[in-house]
Chains A and B, each alone.
Chain A
Amino acid sequence: MDTISIIGMVSIIMAGLTIAVGSIAPALGEGRALSQALTAIAQQPDETPSITRTLFVGLAMVESTAIYCFVVALILIFANPFWDYVIGL
């Protein structure tokens, strides 16, 4: 197999793996945070605005790990430096 097909194959497989692995852990974490927040709201409905605000900020911070993986996957597919290098040879 020549270099171009190896780089293309590895990039696409790794892009799929990156987004697959990188979305599992944040999904678990976000589900846990959401269930805890719902429990807290059920116990203390008066504190709903404060809990919701903290929940949104926390969810966005947890989600950013998934976003990093997504950006890496996109770079692998659309702006892969190694691919550009091999094509330019």
Chain B
Amino acid sequence: MEFNIDDIIYWQEGFLKVNATLLNSWVVMLFLIFLSWLITRKLTSGLNIRRGQAFIESFVVFVLDQIREETHEDADKYLPFIGTLFLFIVVSNVIGVIPGFDSPTASLSTATALAICVFIAVPVFGISNRGFAGYMKHYVQPTPFMLPFNIIGELSRTLALAIRLFGNIMSGSLIIAIVLSLSPLFFPVVMQAFGLLIGVIQAYVFAILALVYIASATRIQNLKELENEESGKKGNENKSTE
């Protein structure tokens, strides 16, 4: 077991390298694409849907419910991004228990790439929801004095997102490797089962945090709209009582 799976190189020509991180993330992507193709090939409606379709449908409904509870708005807009993040990370984390595979997320490169996706998605969703000026305004709220702190916060939470995922998954595989050299038969199995749990929870946490960051960039306007609507209603009620 290597400390850094970027150093396991399978193929190299010049400066082009194919290392374990790349290969394993390609395997994960191919697996997800193949599974989706296999299941969505023959979609049916009605009562007699097949097992795979039922599984995927229940997953999509689960993600939609989570997004709706978190953002209190239309969930379809966020489903592709959040659902893809969650699926990719959960398969990447879980694939590490298969002998011969390493979790791609146990490398800081993959975790950083995913965190940068979130870092870019936040302004994209924010601007598409509130317009350029409206989005930029939240950097100088409550006062322009807070501008540097808002920017530092945005950068540091991206770093935290990457290191959290990387640290959890890498520590899991490292602890298994250490335990394997100390007591090879029973204890590593327990740690691997624990690693499965940690992997799913970390994927969930990553997706939820991405959702929270996106929601915080799109929400303020909605709150104001709600307040306006409520004050409008109150005004109307007052008028009617008068």
Contact A68 B163 (CB under 8 A): yes
- Please report the total number of A residues contacting B with Cβ < 8 Å: 15
Contact A60 B205 (CB under 8 A): yes
User: CA of A50 to CA of B163 in the docked complex: distance in angstroms?
Assistant: 26
Partner of B201 from A60, A61, A64, A71 at Cβ < 8 Å = A60
Contact A70 B167 (CB under 8 A): yes
Q: For residue A61, which residues in chain B have a CB less than 8 angstroms away from its CB?
A: 209
User: CA of A61 to CA of B4 in the docked complex: distance in angstroms?
Assistant: 24
Contact A50 B69 (CB under 8 A): yes
Q: Is B158 an interface residue (CB 8 A)?
A: no
User: CA of A78 to CA of B1 in the docked complex: distance in angstroms?
Assistant: 13
Q: Is A56 an interface residue (CB 8 A)?
A: yes
Most buried by A among B69, B164, B166, B204: B164
Contact with B along A57-82 (1 / 0, CB 8 A): 10011011001101100100011000
Task: List 6 tightest A-B contacts by C-beta distance, closest first.
Answer: A67-B167, A60-B205, A64-B164, A78-B3, A71-B167, A57-B208
Of the A-B pairs whose beta carbons lie under 8 Å apart in the complex, a sample of 20, sorted by A's number, is A50-B69, A53-B69, A56-B201, A56-B204, A57-B205, A57-B212, A60-B164, A60-B202, A60-B205, A61-B209, A63-B164, A63-B168, A64-B167, A68-B167, A70-B171, A71-B166, A74-B3, A74-B170, A74-B174, A78-B3
Further 9 A-B residue pairs, CB within 8 A, beyond A64-B160, A67-B171, A78-B3: A53-B66, A56-B201, A56-B205, A60-B201, A60-B202, A64-B163, A67-B164, A71-B163, A74-B3
A residues in contact (CB < 8 Å) with B:
50, 53, 56-57, 60-61, 63-64, 67-68, 70-71, 74, 78-79
B residues in contact (CB < 8 Å) with A:
3-4, 66, 69, 160, 163-164, 166-168, 170-171, 174, 201-202, 204-205, 208-209, 212
